[in-house]
Every structure is written in C-alpha cells, then in structure tokens.
Structure 1
Amino acid sequence: MDEVTRIVNDIKQGNIKPIYFLMGEEPYYIDKLTEFIEDNVLTEDEKGFNQMVLYGKDVTVEDVIANAKRYPMMADRQVVILKEAQELTRTIDKFESYFDNPQPTTVLVVAYKYKTLDKRKKVTKNADKNGLLFESKKLYENQVADWIKRVLAGREYTIDPKAAAMLVEFLGNDLGKINNELEKLAIILPKGTTITPSHIEENIGISKDYNVFELRKAIGDRDQLKAYKIAAYFAQNPKDNPLVMTVGLVFGFFTQLLQYHGLKDKSQAAKMLKVNPYFIKDYEIAARNYPMRKVSAIVAALRDVDVKSKGVGANSLSADDLLKEMLVKIFN
C-alpha cells in the first residue's frame, strides 16, 4: 500500500514514467493504479485524441506497440492502456524491444493481472529499467483486517475488530469485494463512525450472531447450546454457510490452538499464530477448555469430517448431520 501511495504521489508531482507494467495475483491495486492514470495523466480535453484503452483479448502485442509509437496530438504526451494483458501471456516477450527503447511521449500502462512475469527475463528487466515495474501480491488473510482498518482510516472511519473479522471470514482476502462493501458502508454511515458487527449485519447481510467466527468462539468457550444453534442455522442456510468452508475454518482454529499450546512464550502468540492480538483471549480460554492431547485428537477427527464434507464416503449424510458429527467429536 505504501508503494502504491508513492507511485500516485510521483504521478501527481509530474514524475511520470513511459512504462507502467503492473502485474501480480492481487488485481485490486492493479485496477486502482490503472484507473488513477486513466483519470489523471491527461486533461479531459487531451483525452479525446491522446488516450486509448485496449484489451488483451482483442489486440496483439504488435497492435499495442504500434499505438504506443504514435505521437500525441496537441498535447505533451499520450496514454495507451492495455487492460487484461494476461490474455497475451504467450507473446508478452514481444514487448522486450519496445521496453528497451520506449517512446518518451507515450505513457504505456500494461495491466497484467493474476500472474507475474519472471523478473530475470529481459522483458521484465527492460520494463523495470526504463519505466516502473509493480508487483501486486495477495495479502494473507491474517493481514486483511489491518488493511481494512487502514483503508477506513483514510476515509475517516474506524472499525471494531470483530466487525473486521466478520468481513474477512465472509469475503476472504479478495480486496476488490471487501472494498465494494466498505464503499457501501461509507455511503450509508457518516464519517467518524466506528463500524460495528451490527452495521455489518444490517448493511452487508452477514449475521453478527450466526457466523463461523461466533461458532469458533462458542466451541472455544465450550458453549454447546450456542454452538449447536449456530450449526442448525448453517444447515438451514447452506448457500451462505458452505459446509466445506465451515469445517475448514474450525479445523484451522484447532490447528492454531495446537500451535498455541506448543508456544513457550505466550506473549508472542499473536505474532506466531498470525492473528489480531484482540482475539488472543479466545485462544487462552480455548486452551484451558481443551488440553493439548484433546486438541490433537480433535484435529485428527476433523480431518475425517473434512473428507466427508467433500462427499467422500458420506453420501447418505446431510450437512446438518455432518455439522452435528463435528460438534460431537469436539465436545465429547
């Protein structure tokens, strides 16, 4: 995120590169940088003759280069944007010679999403030497809550840790989807608001009481009544609560709990488990309720439930039955 801010600030200050090769598994920042260049490098009057947006499935590398070598009309520079450049993966090396000697009056943006090029290749080295090479890496799920917090801070909002955890568990590490939901909240809620689980439930549709986060907490607390109520709700709403995902997240919780038991220095638990420090108290409680030997047995049992949740050897068991089986194995 810091690198993206630096790139944006450089462009605002007029330090504009002839090549922006944007690549990586996380499309969010690639789209944001592409959108910023598209909106801000040229004036509205200049865009008519000097800005072109091409798509990888419709053009060849030669087409893009031919457009990039044109001269601007009544402007200091032109902008050529190649979106969905990953469609040209097989021929992307043909940019090598252009990247080695780019047209100085052209800003060429190549949005190469979901993939990366080998940085040892000549085409990549040339893009880096004569322009800007940016790699957008996927965030790990344990990093996403902090990302949500930073994004909201930039919009003058704060968020409750549990509300952030709900978003991550529901949407994973897809920053585009999460940002869309945050934008909806920013439209509805006034600046300065602290976003709570109730806001998430009311405006996004994620139940604050019936979600995997609450199921794991109920299991950790050995609150059997609450756990079975949540499991029953999941069985009645399988589309919003896929069985495979539920079992996987509960399995992940006990795997982390096993790690927690093995830590000599519990003060480092948040760092070692890669979880928000706010939630460490849940692991402390669960560790008291489930000794290490019991956790090991549960992990082994959950592997069996996981296999069944994927349809192996459990054709006669419903989602409701499998969830109950999971809880029986945990609580017994």
Structure 2
Amino acid sequence: MAAKRGAASPTGSRREPFPIYAIVGTDSYLISEARRDILRKALGSDPDPMAICEFEGRTAALADVLDELRSPSLLAPLRVVIVRDADPFVSAARGSLEQYLEEPSTTGVLVLQVRTWPSNTRLYRATQAIGRNIACEAPKRAALPAWIKARASEGYGCVLAAGAAERLADLVGSQCGRLDAELAKLASYVAPAAQITRADVDALVGSSREEKVFGIADAIVERRPATALAMWHQVLATDRDAPYRAMGGLAWGFRRLTAARRMLESGENETAVARAAGFWGPPGDFCKLIKRLSVAQWEDSLTALLSADIGTKTGLTETERAVERIIVRMCAPPARSHR
C-alpha cells in the first residue's frame, strides 16, 4: 500500500515518499531502477498510471508542472510528476523551484531527471533537506566489485567468493544493466546454493561472444589456424538455430577491432581504445593484439567477413565453411614479394 507523504516516524526522522527527488546521472539502468523505487514508495507495488504525469524538460512549463503537483489524484494518495531530461527546465525555473520547495504540495511528488546537479546550489541543498538526491552514474572501475557484491546481495540474496566480482567486472565492465542481468543468470545457475564463485562466472559469463571474437582474432594474428577454427565452432555452437547471426556477430566483433586499430593510429590512449572496443581486461594486452595487424590488414579481414556474411544470407555460400576458408587464408604467412 502506498504511504501518505509528509508523515514522520515515531523517532521524528523523515519517512518516504519525499516531496522531491533528483535523479542525477546518465546510466539508463540505474535511472530506471531509481524511478521504479520512487513509484513503489509513492504509489505502491501496482501504481495507478493515472497518478503519474510526465513532462519533457525542454518543453515543460513550470505552471503546468506545479498545477499537476497541486492537483490531488482521484484514485491514489499522491500524484507523481516526473520531468525527464530536466536540465533545461531547471535552468529556466531554478528560482521558482527553490520557492516551491519552501512549501511543497502535500499531495504531489516531484521527480527531476537531470544530467548535472551541482552540490553547491540552493536547489541541491533544498532537495537534500526535504527529499533525496540519487546518483545514477555507473561506478568507477575500482568501485565495480563492491557494487557487484552489493547488488548480488540485495537483489538476489547471493554472495560472491574471492575473485568472482573482479572477474565479472573484467568481463562485463561498468554496464550496470548488463551486470545485473549476468547476476540474475548466475543466481539461477548456482541455486539453491547462494555463493557465486569465479569458476561460475567463467562458466556462464566468460564464454561470451565478445571474448570468443577476441580469442579468434588473437589466434589469427598469431597464425594458429587450429585454435581459431575451434573457437569459431564454439561461436556457432552458441547460436545453432541461426548460424548467420553467429557470422554477423563475428563480423561485428572484427568491425570493433578495426575501429580500435584506427583509434590507436590516431593517437588515442590504450585504455580508451580497449574500452571503446568492449574489452575489459588489461588494455595493454588488447592493444598488443590489434597492433599485430595494420589498419589496412584489419580492413581487409573485415571486408572478407562482410562479403561472406552477405553470401550466407543470400544463399550463395554456407556459413561454417565460408568462415573456415577466411580463417585459413588469414592465418597463412604473407606471400614474399619477388623482384
């Protein structure tokens, strides 16, 4: 059941839902989770859509927002008013919003979704005093293992053994939505047990297509055709119902490797290059791999894969054999020039 706003606990401390929430940041998963939590606290587990009003920040008029906040909902104890992408709205109405928060509506909950929300402003301090500022930026790399452990415990009742959170962070990176999805799979995988080990992570997440694509590329540039072919067969095995999707996935991976090589050529630092390519292991290892071929050689490899991809989709060739031929050709030593 939804709580009435403005009530206090017996100890005198504030109790949610608050009259205002600022959702600050750009991580779409964390923003979605914050919104869901606010709606649950204000309207219950099954919120009435008629008690929710949403505005776009670039077109929202202050008068309309305040009217909605001050208009009681007919079927719910509160009305939740959300302003999405609210930065321009806040900039235009900052003074009026500060005045509103001095005496906010007792029947409305204002939710501002913003990218920036400086802590040295009156609006930030007023929100902190009577509401809540919610940070929705993905954790930095060093903080990821702690976030993963907390999410596993709070969301799935699981604990991660030594090295498991670090390994998951290496494989997935700071994409909170994907991390949560992987934790959900891992929790189901280990059930009824409640501990997730590094071996579990390797078994369920470590076999991701991205990792196999990098492995195939590594084997190719080291001219190990048997290893590259074995890994290609593993990629196919992950999508047996639609082999052409496996081909497309491989081509997509090589496209990222080609783009990463171009970034290195233009002077980008190794960490930025590795992360842009979706590689979350040591950046030096990744860049060592892609440096083994020139931009032109990566482009030739990508062109061959894309041509084979088109061939398989138009029925001109068969997926497995087409990629096998490309791998064998790419693993062959370069021809010597004759003078």
- TM-score, normalized by the shorter chain, greater than 0.5: yes
Q: Is the 8 A contact 1:139 1:173 kept in 2?
A: yes
Offset, 1:26: 0.8
Q: Is the 8 A contact 1:248 1:306 kept in 2?
A: no
The answer as to whether partners of 1:24 and 1:135 remain within 8 angstroms in 2 is: yes
CA drift of 1:36 comes to 2.9
1:194 aligns with 2:193: no
* 8 Å Cα contact 1:81-1:109 kept in structure 2: yes
Structure 1 unaligned residues grouped into runs of 5+? 1-11, 264-268
Please name the residue that 1:164 is paired with: 168
Deviation by residue 1:265-317 (Cα, 9 ceiling, x = unmatched): xxxx999978xxx9559949x96xx7xxxx63414245414763896999669
- The AA in structure 1 aligned to 2:295 is A
| Corresponding position of 2:35 | 34
Mapped to 1, the partners of 2:89 and 2:300 lie a distance apart of 46
Tell me: CA distance 1:244–1:218, structure 2 relative to 1, closer, same or farther (3 Å).
closer
One-letter code aligned to 2:209: N
| Corresponding residue for residue 247 of structure 1 | 254
Map 1:226-265 → 2, pairs under 5 A: 226-234=227-235, 237-239=243-245, 242-248=249-255, 250=257
Q: Which residue number in structure 1 is paired with residue 94 of structure 2?
A: 96
Q: 1: CA distance between counterparts of 2:39 and 2:14?
A: 15
CA contact (8 A) 1:20 1:109 kept: yes
Partner of 2:111: 110
Please give the per-residue CA displacement for 1:151-199, whole angstroms capped at 9, x wherever unaligned.
Answer: 225533216469726962xxx7542344244235435623532255667
Between structures 1 and 2, the one with greater helix share: 1
Task: Measure, in 1, the Cα distance between the counterparts of 2:243 and 2:297.
Answer: 22
Deviation for aligned residue 1:99: 1.5
Q: 1:298 aligns with which of 289, 293, 317?
A: 293
Change (3 A) 1:283 1:35: same
Following the alignment from structure 1 to structure 2, what is the Cα–Cα distance between the partners of residues 60 and 270? 40
Higher RCO by CA contacts (8 Å cutoff, separation 6 or greater): 1
Does the C-alpha gap of structure 1 residues 71 and 156 become closer, same or farther in structure 2, counting only changes over 3 Å?
Answer: same
* Structure-1 separation of matches of 2:324 and 2:81: 48
Say yes or no: does 1:131 pair with 2:127. Answer: yes
Check conservation: 1:257, 1:283, Cα contact below 8 A: no
- Of structures 1 and 2, the larger Rg is shown by 2
- 1:266 aligns with none
Q: Secondary structure at the match of 1:242?
A: helix
Amino acid at match of 2:252: M
Amino acid at match of 2:126: N
Residue 191 and residue 316 in structure 1: after superposition, are their counterparts in 2 closer, same or farther (change >3 A)?
Answer: closer
Gaps of 5+ in 2: 1-11, 237-241, 334-339
3-state secondary structure, aligned to 2:227: helix
Amino acid at match of 1:151: R
Amino acid at match of 1:24: G
Three-state SS of the structure 2 residue aligned to 1:56 is strand
**In structure 2, the residue corresponding to 1:298 is in which secondary structure?**
coil
- Structure 1 residue corresponding to 2:303, chosen from 283, 300, 308: 308
Helix, strand or coil for the counterpart of 2:14?
A: coil
Q: Are the counterparts in 2 of residues 305 and 326 from structure 1 also a CA contact under 8 Å? A: no
Change (3 A) 1:283 1:184: closer
Aligned residue type for 1:226: T
Q: Is the 8 A contact 2:260 2:274 kept in 1?
A: no
Distance 1:315 1:144, change over 3 A: farther
Q: Give per-residue Cα distances to partners, 1:240-264, cap 9 Å, x unaligned.
A: 5623432145558889999xxxx9x
Q: Which string of whole-angstrom CA distances, capped at 9 and with x for unpartnered residues, describes residues 71-109 of structure 1?
A: 899xxxx754334623x7775655434422123454634
CA RMSD of aligned residues (A): 5.6
Q: Call closer, same or farther: CA 1:117–1:79 in 2, change over 3 Å.
A: farther
Distance 1:181 1:93 in 2: 38
Whole-Å Cα distance in 1 between the matches of residues 183 and 261 of structure 2?
A: 30
Structure 1: how far apart are the matches of 2:110 and 2:215?
46
Cα 1:83/1:327, change in 2 over 3 Å: farther
